[in-house]
A and B are shown apart, each in its own frame.
Chain A
Amino acid sequence: MTEASTISLLESRGLTVRFGGLLALNELDIDVRHGEVLGLIGPNGSGKTTFLNVISGVYSASAGSIKLDGVDITTASAQNLSNHGLARTFQRSRLCLPLSVFDNIALGAQKRLDSGLWHNLVRRKSFAAETRAIAAEARELLYVFNPSLADKLFEPAISLGMIDRRRVEICRALIGKPKLVLLDEPSAGMTHDETDQVVDEILGIRKSLGGLTIIIVEHEMGLIERVTDRCVVLNYGKKICEGRFRDVAADPVVREAYLGQS
């Protein structure tokens, strides 16, 4: 595992999210350091995915603040956050299944692409040049994951198996060259072996990109142990423990949260 620096890339202070009477996140202070892989764990309903949703702008915070690389993003919309260098995957695959793998990945590069009417409808040569560049990049990324996937660039996403869909989703997040990637349960819907494979690929790609910062939400503890530098444990929307996985796993408060009081 790489040594993470101590400067925070993401900083949440007193972050609170309320859904009516339900306190989904309760005054959460979380720091994510540059270049680290932070695991977010906790029992079902503890607020892990809510945390990802609020920092990626899908939900808005009821109170508190979030800073990304020193910029306050608490009230930023989901659209603007991708411009701030944030990308994510979803617990349930959110690929556009009727579209090709290429179209799905191009969405991740949206902010770099020219969406102007003139460029798209009239200057077809420069549009084609842009398409070629993105296709080459997408192919390169897919190749790292699975060489045979690179040949399926123009196949519809619906024709892929679960593991390849997950790979495409991760490529879609990575092609925008984000500062921070949020992975929401990358193992969901996959077998143990498939999960292992994808984890190896994520670690490999992280090495080749040179210190990408990742927040990963996961139930599969083996995966958390292998990939994270640090873990934050949530329960009922509150942070109950923080530290290396080994230490966190041995903490009596964490054990109680997972297994109940004995």
Chain B
Amino acid sequence: MTGLSAPKPAAVWPLIASVAFAAAALTTLVLIENQKLLGLTLAGIAAICFAAARFGGVAATEAAASQNPWLLRGLITIAAMAVLYVLRDDNFGLLMVATVLIYATVCIGLTIQMGYTGLTNFAAAAFVGTGGYTAAMLGQKGGLPDPLVLIGGGLVAVFIGSLLILPVLRTRGHYAALTTLAFGVMFNVFLDANELLGGPQGLKIPGINLFGWDFSSDLQILGITFSFYVNYVILTGVLTALAMILAGLLDKSWIGVWLDVVRLDETAASVFGLRIGYWKILAFTLGNFLAGLMGAVYAKMTGFIAPSNFTFGDSLVMVSIVILGGIGNRWGVLPAALIVVLLPEKLQFIQEYRLLLYAILVIVILIMRPDGLVARRVRTLRMEARP
């Protein structure tokens, strides 16, 4: 019988070229100041991506990546180090990269919730905020080491999320979405009114200190000075990578199959014995943990949080990253977060029109690619099932 034989070994150079291209594109977009150059670069990147998709470059990259997972991880590490070296003293650029990574990681959590399980969550920013405020409060009390503070941010977000589980399990589709939306709005009103949490003025938070590694001081490696923001880029990069691995393993396992079935057909799921509530709770918990964790990192990185950082609008931005990237495809959140976070900053020169231009761009992308930048592929456990 066929279908079991090992696939043809794919050439690795498309993978190398793609990672190098992605790193170069990211660095250029972050560094660029001139608006004409920015427009040209964006058009150039779009053209190269289009050509790569049209002439099989993307497929070749995917084949090489799935056959050589360790090469992919090595290349990404090297590319990340190269990007850090180039951006080493660009504070604003590094802050942007770390912010993009934070958004991307929260959106990987949303991918588990929305893309895999079909739980629409319009309160992502509220869970990020929960993590941020937890970090702030734990920081004020002092005494707790920062790794625990960050994890605490995730755990409190899970706890707050568990209050929502009952209504989320009892409703479906638009109604479940409405429940989370109401929660997101409530959360913001609560923050605004709460004196203990600083009210509308917000709270100040000290930076991260991981086992004596002080994130607020510049980094000296091999005589090269890196801005202190590099610490945050490294931390957020590692967390993004871990979240990516988690989502990837989930997807390529029975759990991923069950989550998909829960999303696609609850009747079939229950007739074949799936515990729908259990799987929804698992996905909701994982996603909220990632949101809370990254919220704590965000709060510590910016040093200041206020209710206006975690509004319903921010939740919508996160949902739009998931959709723009290609719902259910964890890789899609990376370019989508880059576009959504970076572009409005880069388009400062047209002032208030920047949001208009950015919104038009998002709409155009979705017209050209209705399934998102990187559409989700059909899962095959072919590699796992190979004898």
Contacts and interface: CB of A to CB of B under 8 A. Distances in A.
Interface of A: 56-58, 77-83, 87-88, 90, 94-100, 102-103, 106-108, 110-111, 113-115, 117, 120-121, 124, 127-128, 130-132, 134-135, 139, 143, 150-156, 172, 176
Nearest to A77: B270
Contacts of B260: 96, 98-99, 103
A253 to B, nearest CB: 33
A117 B281 CA distance: 14
Interface of B: 1-4, 246, 249-250, 253-255, 257-258, 260-261, 264-265, 267-276, 378-382, 384-387
A221 B386 CA distance: 44
Contact of B273 (A58, A82, A97, A131): A82
A59 B28 CA distance: 59
A106 B260 CA distance: 12
Nearest to B257: A103
A51 to B, nearest CB: 15
Contacts of B258: 107, 110, 115
B1 A139 contact: yes
A110 B143 CA distance: 47
A78 B246 contact: no
B378 A156 contact: yes
Nearest to B383: A128
A102 B386 CA distance: 13
B265 A96 contact: yes
B270 A110 contact: no
A94 B267 contact: yes
B3 A115 contact: no
Given A78-B267, A151-B3, 18 more contacts: A58-B271, A79-B273, A80-B273, A97-B264, A98-B264, A100-B379, A100-B380, A103-B260, A107-B261, A111-B273, A120-B253, A127-B254, A134-B385, A135-B381, A143-B1, A150-B1, A150-B3, A152-B3
Contact of B257 (A94, A106, A111, A128): A106
A132 B255 contact: no
B112 to A, nearest CB: 12
A124 to B, nearest CB: 8
Contacts of B274: 79, 107, 110
The list of the 4 closest CB pairs from A to B, nearest first, reads A82-B273, A120-B253, A135-B385, A78-B270
Contacts of B275: 79
B2 A127 contact: no
A140 to B, nearest CB: 9
Given A99-B261, A121-B249, A154-B382, A106 B387 contact: no
Contacts of B384: 124, 127-128, 131-132
Contact of B254 (A79, A95, A113, A152): A113
A133 B253 CA distance: 14
Given A58-B271, A88-B271, A154-B380, A132 B387 contact: yes
14 contacts: A77-B270, A78-B271, A79-B270, A82-B271, A97-B264, A99-B257, A103-B381, A107-B269, A111-B273, A120-B249, A130-B254, A132-B386, A151-B2, A154-B380
Contacts of A97: 264
A175 B3 CA distance: 20
B197 to A, nearest CB: 34
B271 to A, nearest CB: 5
Specify which of B3, B253, B271 lies most central, judged by the most chain A CB atoms within 10 Å of its CB: B271
